[in-house]
Amino acid sequence: MTTLTAGASRGSVQDAVQNAMRDSLPLTFAPMRANDVDEVARIEVDAYPFPWTRGNFFDSLASGYLAWVARDADARIAGYFLLMPAVDDMHLLNITVRPDLQGRGIGRRLLDEIGALTREAGIDAVLLEVRPSNAQALAVYRHVGFIQIGLRKNYYPAAGQAREDAIVMRLMLSDVPLAPPGHSPGARQS
């Protein structure tokens, strides 16, 4: 299993605290199934002003995209992500942490799992779009090692009839160290 923790080698107190918080909530990763979509859609509506629809999730599953959920010890979905493999990169279409669990390192663990799945697919880069107004996500992506490679004008819907740009970011996994032996962001189920 890989980790996207570029900062872990620095050994800072902040990284130690984040690692302890990340490891304190047990997560189990499993492929998203059709019967997960209702719970995922509820989380999506709670997390975003412009959420994906149930149809978007069903279409992604039908298209064969890599869709995964992370469940907590109570078997509730703590977060999820959807990936679309392309020739040169893995496109991260959606990554979401349940709002009541945000700030506890789960997003970072989802990114660790995305890195592992991307490497297992023989792909060395993860590509994503993010709203400039999503400061929390931008900070996490930058900390992990994503760099801005472009800007998509008027990509996202915004309040009223407005539109918001998307920052396009890429993470080259060859630039990210492997996890130390025995580290895993969570257990996997088939």
Active site positions, annotated: 129, 141
The residues pairing with 152 across neighbouring beta strands, listed in sequence order, are 166
* Pick from 149, 144, 140, 48: nearest CA to 89: 149
Cβ atoms 83, 114 nearer than 8 A: yes
Q: Provide the 10 A C-beta neighbour count for residue 54.
A: 15
Q: Which pairs from 130-134 meet CB under 8 Å and 24+ separation?
A: 130/166, 130/167, 130/169, 131/156, 131/164, 131/165, 131/166, 131/167, 132/164, 132/165, 132/167, 133/164
CB count in 10 Å sphere of residue 115: 25
Q: Please tell me the distance from the alpha carbon of residue 64 to that of residue 169, in angstroms, as a whole number.
A: 23
DSSP state of 15: H
Cα–Cα distance measured from residue 54 to residue 126, given in angstroms and rounded to the nearest whole number: 25
